[in-house]
Amino acid sequence: MTATEKVLARASGKAVVKLGDIVYPDPDLFFVHDHMIAPSKAQLDELGIPARFDPQRVICPTDRTVICSTAKEVERAAATAKAMIN
């Protein structure tokens, strides 16, 4: 197996995976950009999916709006924080 196949096999709980296999890996870490948290949470809520990924394994960089300078940025930051907590 290639390195990628080995990683996907381990994360999927399978002994072997190969090109063309459909796998559902359980990632070690989950990366989501800060501007996507609130909209993603709203979509999950709309679909009736209450649970979220293990918050201890979520990486959320805030690289665009570290200091909020407009009302819209403050609103977005508040929605992001609320989505992360709830």
Q: Above 90 in pLDDT, residue 4?
A: yes
pLDDT at 52: 65
In the chain, pLDDT over 70 holds for what percent of residues? 90
Whether 16 and 40 map to the same domain: the answer is no
* Rounded distance between C-alpha atoms, residue 3 and residue 59, angstroms: 23
Domain count, the chain: 2
Whether 79 and 41 map to the same domain: the answer is yes
Confidence of residue 14 (pLDDT cuts 50, 70, 90): very high
Whether 79 and 38 map to the same domain: the answer is yes
pLDDT at 3: 96
Whether 21 and 62 map to the same domain: the answer is no
Task: Say how many CA atoms lie within 13 Å of 73 toward its Cβ.
Answer: 9
* Rounded distance between C-alpha atoms, residue 4 and residue 40, angstroms: 27
Instruction: Domain of residue 3: give its range.
Output: 1-26
Whether 11 and 40 map to the same domain: the answer is no
> What is the tens place of the pLDDT at every residue in 29-49?
888 887 787 788 888 889 988
Whether 81 and 40 map to the same domain: the answer is yes
- Contacts of residue 30, defined as CB under 8 A and 6 or more positions apart, other chains included, come to 53, 54, 57, 58, 59
Could you give the 3-state DSSP secondary structure of residue 30? Answer: strand
> What is the tens place of the pLDDT at every residue in 69-79?
889 888 888 88
Confidence of residue 56 (pLDDT cuts 50, 70, 90): confident
Task: Show the tokens assigned to 32.
Answer: 């989501």
Whether 19 and 40 map to the same domain: the answer is no
